[in-house]
A and B are shown apart, each in its own frame.
Chain A
Amino acid sequence: MLTLEEIVEKHAGMVRRIATVYERDPDRIDDLVQEVWLAMWQALPRLDNPATLKPYIARITQNICVTHVRRALVRKTELLSDSVPDEAVPVDEATDRARQLIRLTEAVRNLPESLKAVAGLYLEDIAIKDIATILGISESNASVRLHRAKTFIRMRFGDAS
């Protein structure tokens, strides 16, 4: 069984990327990531099958991100504020890849809520079956959403390759 440190080391990137889909402000992304790992710390002993760790972390991250509306409302701040640049994607590294990454992040962020969740999880290599289970929708529904999300991203982004 992996320790929490090892799990954090392995999956911290995924958690942060999913949080980046829902939040633009780096401080609030940090808050979300901390909240996810705190929840994971408490939930880890309840995980029956270690093989399902990645989808489990993705599920908890997804749920915390989708429901972080409460805290944002309490703070009376606007969700997905456009004013602060994202530190996760450094703008000063003006490499072609970094710029593409920024465009992709923007494209995913701008997806409608129903497609955003599917796209964010798919980009993290979560299987369609697991995405459907995480969101509580049918597999065919998840597939259709994914197809639409891809079309939307391609329209906004162009061809990644």
Chain B
Amino acid sequence: MNEPSQMDPFARLWQSTPKPDTRQLMLDVQRLHETHRRHNRVLIFVLCGIALLLAFCVAAERSLTLGVVSALWVAYVIGAIWYQRVRCRSDALGLDTISLLKRMISRAKRGLFQARCLSIGTPAAALTATIVTKVSGLTLTSDGHPVHQLAEIQTIASLIMLAAMIVAGLVLARARRRQLLELTEKLRSLEDKL
């Protein structure tokens, strides 16, 4: 039934397509490869630059409150670089298709969870913080002074950021849901017992 495909007329016909232009292809691939490397280098440079700046601010005692932020940021940069290296080394595409799809599905689920955190968790956290602040009486006007103009700008900026995060979360969640559906469908069709 399963004769070698060289003997199969369909296979012979299938392989009779004209050869593609590999010279142009190699040029395009080299260009893409360079772009990826440059992009990665710029990203690492920017992340390390910010980390150094924060470390300098703390070391020079320009800001006392940035200590924790700096530590978190440096940890984040180290984690991101480590993750990038590990991910590049692990040959995900060398997995079999079903395992790869399962891995992509779990990654999409994680993405969906993060998107939900953005769209639902962020406003919920902001609301909780507002209620806690009101209940504990820690408002900006509690001492009777009028609200400073800078505080107003900060509030507006925070609200805009909050709205942007909710919108980003909704868009991301929608994309991840669709991706999850597509991948699950593909996995189901491949795993289909015959």
Partners in one complex: yes
CB neighbours (8 Å) of A4 from chain B are 26
Would you call B194 and A62 a contact (CB within 8 A)?
no
Docked Cα-Cα span, A97 to B9, in Å, equals: 12
Interface residues of A in 42-93 (CB under 8 A from B): 42-43, 46, 56, 59-60, 62-64, 66-67, 69-70, 73-74, 88-90
Count of A-B contacts judged by CB separation below 8 Å: 158
Most buried by A among B26, B88, B94: B94
Q: Is the CB of A69 within 8 A of B2?
A: no
> Which residues of B are found within 8 Å of A28, using beta-carbon distances?
none
CB distance from B36 to the nearest CB of A (A): 7
Report chain A residues within 8 Å CB of B186: 66, 69, 113
Residue of chain A at shortest CB distance from B174: A73
B41 to chain A, nearest CB (A): 16
Q: Are B100 and A63 in contact (CB under 8 A)?
A: yes
Contact B94 A46 (CB under 8 A): yes
Could you say which residues of chain B place their CB within 8 Å of the CB of A114? Answer: 189-190, 192
CA distance A141 to B193 in the complex (A): 8
Q: Are A34 and B28 within 8 A (Cβ)?
A: yes
Contacts of A8 in B (CB 8 A): 22, 25-26, 29
**Chain B 93-110: CB-based contact to A (< 8 A → 1; otherwise 0):** 111111111001000000
B179 touching A17, Cβ below 8 Å: no
B interface residues, Cβ below 8 angstroms from A: 1-2, 4-6, 8-20, 22, 25-26, 28-29, 32-33, 36, 88, 91, 93-101, 104, 175, 178-179, 182-183, 185-186, 189-194
Taking beta carbons and an 8 Å cutoff, which residues of A are in contact with B?
4-5, 8-9, 12-13, 16-17, 30, 33-34, 37-39, 41-43, 46, 56, 59-60, 62-64, 66-67, 69-70, 73-74, 88-90, 97, 100-101, 104, 108, 112-114, 117, 122-126, 128, 133-137, 141, 143-148, 150, 153, 157, 159-161
16 pairs from A and B in contact (CB 8 Å cutoff):
A4-B26, A12-B19, A12-B22, A17-B17, A38-B29, A59-B96, A63-B100, A66-B186, A69-B182, A97-B13, A101-B13, A113-B186, A135-B98, A136-B99, A137-B191, A160-B8
